[in-house]
Structures are given as C-alpha cells and as structure tokens.
Amino acid sequence: MDFKASKSMAVQIITIGVIVLFAFLGYNNVMGLIHANGNLTPILIHSCSLVFLAGTILLCFLLAPQKYSVDANYLIIHRPLSDKRILLDSIIEIRKVDKSELKGMIRTFGVAGLFGNYGKFYTNDLGNITMYGTQNKNYILIRIQSKKILITPDDSCIIEQLKSKKPTDL
C-alpha cells in the first residue's frame, strides 16, 4: 500500500527560493564564462561554481523522499536515486512523535527544506535520528536495532498498516 509524502508549504517555498537563487548565481557564472576571454582562472572558477550549483540541486532532488509504501516484507521509502528498504521484521518500535519531542532539533548532516527534510538530525529527547520527511506534521518514529528513523507520511494510518504486517508487539 502506498502512502503520499506531500511537500509542506515551507518545503515548497524553500525549494523554489533556492532554485531561483541558484539560477541567478548560475546566470552570473555563465556570464563570467562568456567574458573570461580565454583566461583559465575565471573559466575554472565559474565552471566549478556551475557544477557545484547544479550538482547540489540534482543530488538533493535524487535523495529526497517521494512516497512511502508497505509490502509484505518491507517499509519502502521511495527516492529517485534509490529506495530505502526497512525490513518489517527488524522494526522494534513504531509510534507517533509529538512535536515537543523534536524541540531543538539540530541538523547534523542533512537537508532541511530543499525538496524535503532528510538526512541525519539530533534531538535531546530522541537522540540521533535519520529523517526521511517532507512536511512538519505526522511524525512517525520507527526504531530498528540501534537506529531511529523518522518519516512524515500524509496519512498516519501507516502505523496500523505496519503493525498488521508484523505480528509481534510494537
């Protein structure tokens, strides 16, 4: 069963803003290349800047969650680059997370806003977590062994779907 992962208004605004900013910076770099007149230093600087800007947008898009699905054996977090599969039998705990548990969340190695909120984060209450989110509601914590994963599907009935596929207590 598939579960949507709609982008929140904040994610949409940040994504559009970053793309517009990067387009402006990219345009300036293209103009710098045009006016470089064969000088190797500006050509190298502007070319590297263009690759960095385009690569950042592309990589963030490819790693951003698009939707979630549950099949007979896995919770699947769909991303354009590669799906993240979580074996249902490895899930120790699944529950809704109150926003108060996420107060003071710190991004340790992740993206907060560009196509979603995903990567490594830290909170005082939950500790280190890996987030695959697209909005600021419907937080669901999935604990597997020593890892904690946070997802944000549109429909929180994914919890019941996961519990029905896994017969052990969650």
What is the DSSP pairing of strand 106-112 with strand 91-96?
Answer: unpaired
Q: Which residues pair with 138 in a beta bridge?
A: none
Q: Answer yes or no: are the C-beta atoms of 77 and 84 closer than 8 Å.
A: yes
> Which residues are paired to 120 by β-bridges?
109, 130
CA atoms of 108 and 8, how far apart (whole Å): 22
Contacts of 31 (CB under 8 A, 6+ apart): none
Polymer length in residues for the chain: 170
Overall pTM > 0.85: yes
pLDDT for the residue 65: 96
Phi first, then psi, for residue 99 (nearest 5°) are: -60, -30
| Structural domains counted in the chain | 1
Whole-number pLDDT of residue 97: 94
Of 20-34, 104-118, 123-137, 154-168, the least confident = 154-168
Q: Which residue range is the domain that position 89 belongs to?
A: 1-170
Model confidence pLDDT, tens digit, residues 103-133: 889 999 999 999 999 999 999 999 999 999 9
Which 3-state string (H, E, C) describes 14-31? HHHHHHHHHHHHHHHHHH
